């Protein structure tokens, strides 16, 4: 695997290369209730609170970044917790848990921003009970229940103050923090107000994921100014440190000057 850009198109290659994800993805993206919950998440977050995007585009970006990070970890022998603990039978089911958790992780915003991760886990119970039998036709109901619990765990664990208990939850937690390019900051900020939140958000030009030279996963963040470090320090690094995959990740900040020159800064090993 090579370098990829964190954007809404990244999910496509992962979905096409896996039969289970290819079955789940169109269900997620065409389900009326799921799409309306994501729409309402943006009504609350963007319209009412003037925060950044928490809707379908963000869900797709985090889904692609999550699966990209997962594949790099799998290549280096990291075993998903759901497999290691006997919850599911193989890695494809672990991939499904990551996809579902990533895509649904912000549905709690449809109710309220406050404690939206815990609310999202509860909201997803009904959604997963309905769509999992369609994604896994003929599967033992006990497996359906276990997958549902794991996805709910992933969603709850995206909270800034909740330590991840599983590799799957850790992957989505970290991937959530990578959607920050071109003003898509994970720190909520009042649009139109030029404070440190806004300055740091607009300074992030591009986020990329690639195999690391020292650790399995390198997250490259190209910034127009040092203000972008505010995003790293306040969002991405805390998420990495509350995950179980911090030892597998290196963060490579870069500064891009106005004349196009890109300078690599000291790597960060959380």
Domain ranges of the chain: 8-162, 181-264
pLDDT band at 260 (very low <50, low <70, confident <90, very high): confident
Residues 160-213 have pLDDT tens digits of 999 999 999 999 999 999 999 877 765 555 555 566 667 777 889 999 999 999
Q: Are 98 and 171 in contact (CB under 8 A)?
A: yes
CA Rg, the chain, in Å?
A: 18
Residues 12-45 have pLDDT tens digits of 999 999 999 999 999 999 999 999 999 999 999 9
Q: Are 61 and 6 in contact (CB under 8 A)?
A: yes
pTM for the model: 0.95
Q: Are 45 and 54 in contact (CB under 8 A)?
A: yes
């Amino acid at each position: 695997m090579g370098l990829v850009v964190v954007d809404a198109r990244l999910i496509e290659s992962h979905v096409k290369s896996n039969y289970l994800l290819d079955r789940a993805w169109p269900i997620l993206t065409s389900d009326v209730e799921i799409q309306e919950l994501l729409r309402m998440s943006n009504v609350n977050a963007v319209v009412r609170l003037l925060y950044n995007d928490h809707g379908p585009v963000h869900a797709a970006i985090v889904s692609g970044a999550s699966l990209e990070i997962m594949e790099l970890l799998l290549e280096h022998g990291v075993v998903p917790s759901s497999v290691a603990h006997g919850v599911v039978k193989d890695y494809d089911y672990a991939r499904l848990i990551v996809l579902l958790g990533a895509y649904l992780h912000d549905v709690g915003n449809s109710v309220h921003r406050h404690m939206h991760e815990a609310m999202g886990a509860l909201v997803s119970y009904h959604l997963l009970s309905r769509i999992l039998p369609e994604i896994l036709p003929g599967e033992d109901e006990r497996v359906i229940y276990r997958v549902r619990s794991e996805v709910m765990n992933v969603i709850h664990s995206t909270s800034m103050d909740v330590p991840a208990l599983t590799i799957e939850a850790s992957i989505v937690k970290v991937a959530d923090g990578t959607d920050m390019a071109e003003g898509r900051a994970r720190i909520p900020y009042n649009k139109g107000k030029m404070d440190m939140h806004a300055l740091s958000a607009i300074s992030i030009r591009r986020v990329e994921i690639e195999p690391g030279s020292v650790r399995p996963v390198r997250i490259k963040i190209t910034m127009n100014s040092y203000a972008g470090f505010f995003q790293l320090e306040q969002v991405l690094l805390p998420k990495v440190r509350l995950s179980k995959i911090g030892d597998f990740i290196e963060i490579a900040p870069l500064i891009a000057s106005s004349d196009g020159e890109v300078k690599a800064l000291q790597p960060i090993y959380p």
